Amino acid sequence: MVNYPVAVFAADWTLIAWNAMWSALIGDPHQRPLADRNLIRATFYGSAAWTPIVRIDAEAGRPDEKEQRALVADLRHAVTTYPDDEALRALVAEVRAASPPFRELWDSGAAGRHASTRKLVQHPLAGELVLDCDVLTAPDSDLKIILYTAAAGSRDSERLDFLRVSAVHSVT
């Protein structure tokens, strides 16, 4: 899957692996502290680690509440799967204390798996890209594989091609 931005996240939504295309799209995660590689923190704190990503809420033009609900529900699934995991409980307590939107969603009690969304990416070189984001979960695993794609032949696909070329040149 070298032609598309792909990353692997742990059950707590911490980024643990990624390819060159991911770095070309999002920026090199090695340049950020480990705490900034957690998507829950990034979503509810607005971390600079995910600056190019703008979630699409077609009706309001604000962070996608549907995605926020999906992330919180997925995190709750992880907490119920691993009830003795202190790090998971600490993450929930930290974000719950710092983010009223997270607290409200957490207190709603929803649980489930995050599956897909559409995102608008403001990239400093490639410009604006609308990408489909699919969350793949391997059977019997809590690892999440995130894959960004664009419609074939679209302007967004051409911009991903541009990033692919830049990713190849940055690696060589």
pLDDT in tens, 96-145: 999 999 999 999 987 777 777 788 888 888 988 999 989 988 778 889 99
* C-alpha dihedral sign at 41, 168, 130, 123: positive
More confident residue, 12 or 44: 12
Task: Give yes or no for residue 11 having a pLDDT over 60.
Answer: yes
Share of the chain above pLDDT 70, in %: 85
Position 28 confidence tier, pLDDT thresholds 50, 70, 90: confident
Position 64 confidence tier, pLDDT thresholds 50, 70, 90: low
Task: Give yes or no for residue 49 having a pLDDT over 60.
Answer: no
Choice among 30-34, 37-41, 44-48, 160-164 with the minimum mean pLDDT: 44-48
Task: Give yes or no for residue 66 having a pLDDT over 90.
Answer: no
**Is residue 119 left, alpha or beta, with left meaning phi > 0 and alpha meaning psi from -120 to 50?**
beta
pTM value? 0.85
Tokens of 91: 């993450």
Distances (CA, A) of 20 to 41, 148, 167: 23, 13, 6
Tokens of 1: 């899957």
Neighbours of 16 (CB within 10 A): 13
